[in-house]
């Protein structure tokens, strides 16, 4: 093999120890700031952000405007997940059912063959 056949490996790129966003790090833009921006957009236009996004997105698709599509994709990707929330409400019946299922599982485990009493 000659010197020309040897390919030097670059020291750039790839995984580096300690690189990237740290686990548990906070978003740089908080929900209050996002909501303020959306409220300001509504004050100026009289339309809800989602309606503007949909209208502009459809217009951009019809006219093949890649720049507007990219812009709205970036905005939607940043703003919309920050506004999502999930509320879990459990009734007393659901809590009682879970407690009963747990008790039944423990009883079945205790009665299983090969378990010490």
Per residue in 65-78, pLDDT (tens digit) is 888 878 777 777 76
Domain residues of the chain, as ranges? 29-84
How many CB atoms sit inside 10 A of residue 94's CB? 10
- Reported as a single tens digit per residue, the pLDDT across 18-32 is 777 788 887 777 778
* Residue ranges of the chain with per-residue pLDDT less than 70: 1-13, 78-86, 114-117
User: pTM above 0.75?
Assistant: no
In angstroms, the Cα distances linking 107 to 51, 110, 115 are 55, 5, 12
CA 89 to chain centre: 22
């Amino acid at each position: 093999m000659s010197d020309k056949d040897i390919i030097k490996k670059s020291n750039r790129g790839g995984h580096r120890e300690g690189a990237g966003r740290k686990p548990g790090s906070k978003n740089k833009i908080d929900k209050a700031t996002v909501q303020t921006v959306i409220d300001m957009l509504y004050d100026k236009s009289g339309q809800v952000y989602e309606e503007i996004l949909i209208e502009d997105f459809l217009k951009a698709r019809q006219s093949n405007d890649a720049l507007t599509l990219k812009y709205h994709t970036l905005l939607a990707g940043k703003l919309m997940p920050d506004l999502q929330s999930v509320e879990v409400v459990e009734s007393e019946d659901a809590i009682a059912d879970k407690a009963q299922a747990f008790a039944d599982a423990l009883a079945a485990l205790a009665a299983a063959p090969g378990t010490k009493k």
